[in-house]
Chain A
Amino acid sequence: MARIVILGAGISGHTAALHLQRQLKNKHEIVVVSPNSNWNWIPSNIWVGVGKMAKSQVTFPLAPIYQRKHIVFRQAKAVAIHPEGDINESQGFVDIVYTDPTRVSEEERLAYDYLIVATGPKLNFAATPGLGPEGNSWSVCTANHAEQSSAALEKIIEALKAGERKTLVIGVGHGTCTCEGAAFEYTFNVEHELRERGVRELADVVYLSNEYDLGDLGVGGMIFAQNGFETSSKLWTESLFRERGVRAILRAHVEKVDPGVIHYEDLDGAHHTLDFDFAMLLPPFRGVEMKAYAKNGDDITDALFAPNGFLRVDADYATKPYEEWAPEDWPKTYQCPRYDNVFGVGIAFAPPHAISEPRKSPNGTVISPAPPRTGMPSGVMGRTVALSIVDRIHRGGEAKLRTASMADMGAACIASAGTGLRRGSAAAITMFPIIPDRRRFPGTGRDLTQTSGEIGLSGHWTKLLLHYLFIYKAKARFGWFLIPE
Chain B
Amino acid sequence: MEPMSEVDRNIAEAPLPTKGTLRRRKSLGYQVTRFVAFNFRMMKMVTRAHH
Which residues of chain B have C-beta atoms less than 8 A from A461's C-beta?
A: 31, 35
Q: What distance in Å separates the Cβ of B47 from its nearest Cβ neighbour in chain A?
A: 7
Residue among B34, B45, B50 with most chain A CB within 10 A? B45
Residue among B26, B38, B48 with most chain A CB within 10 A? B38
Which residues of chain A have C-beta atoms less than 8 A from B8's C-beta?
A: 247-248
User: B interface, by DSSP: helix, strand, loop or mixed?
Assistant: helix
**Roughly how many angstroms separate A484 CA and B44 CA in the complex, as a whole number?**
11
CB of B49 within 8 A of chain A?
Answer: yes
**Roughly how many angstroms separate A234 CA and B31 CA in the complex, as a whole number?**
24
Chain B contact-residue range equals 20 to 34
**Roughly how many angstroms separate A148 CA and B16 CA in the complex, as a whole number?**
35
A246: nearest chain-B partner, CB-CB: B11
Which residues of chain A have C-beta atoms less than 8 A from B34's C-beta?
A: 454, 456, 458
**Roughly how many angstroms separate A452 CA and B8 CA in the complex, as a whole number?**
25
Which residues of chain B have C-beta atoms less than 8 A from A383's C-beta?
A: 50
The answer on a CB contact under 8 Å between A425 and B42 is no
B25 partner, pick from A404, A409, A456, A465, beta carbons under 8 A: A456
**Roughly how many angstroms separate A432 CA and B10 CA in the complex, as a whole number?**
27
Chain A contact-residue range equals 35 or more
**Roughly how many angstroms separate A423 CA and B25 CA in the complex, as a whole number?**
10
Which residues of chain B have C-beta atoms less than 8 A from A458's C-beta?
A: 31-32, 34-35, 38
Q: What distance in Å separates the Cβ of B15 from its nearest Cβ neighbour in chain A?
A: 5
B24 partner, pick from A412, A452, A456, beta carbons under 8 A: A456
The answer on a CB contact under 8 Å between B26 and A456 is yes
The answer on a CB contact under 8 Å between B35 and A452 is no
Q: Mark A453-468, 1 if CB is under 8 A from B, else 0.
A: 0111111011001000
**Roughly how many angstroms separate A476 CA and B45 CA in the complex, as a whole number?**
23
The answer on a CB contact under 8 Å between B45 and A450 is yes
Which residues of chain A have C-beta atoms less than 8 A from B50's C-beta?
A: 380, 383, 484-485
The answer on a CB contact under 8 Å between A409 and B49 is yes
The answer on a CB contact under 8 Å between B38 and A248 is no
Q: What distance in Å separates the Cβ of B49 from its nearest Cβ neighbour in chain A?
A: 5
CB of B7 within 8 A of chain A?
Answer: yes
CB of B1 within 8 A of chain A?
Answer: no
CB of A68 within 8 A of chain B?
Answer: no
A248: nearest chain-B partner, CB-CB: B7
CB of A376 within 8 A of chain B?
Answer: yes
Q: Give chain A interface residues in 200-258, CB to chain B under 8 Å.
A: 214, 234-235, 238-239, 241-243, 247-250
Q: Name 13 A/B residue pairs within 8 A (Cβ), A-sorted.
A: A214-B11, A239-B14, A241-B11, A242-B12, A243-B16, A432-B45, A455-B25, A456-B34, A457-B26, A458-B32, A462-B42, A484-B47, A484-B50
- Lowest 6 A-B CB distances belong to which pairs? A238-B14, A458-B35, A410-B45, A456-B25, A458-B31, A458-B34
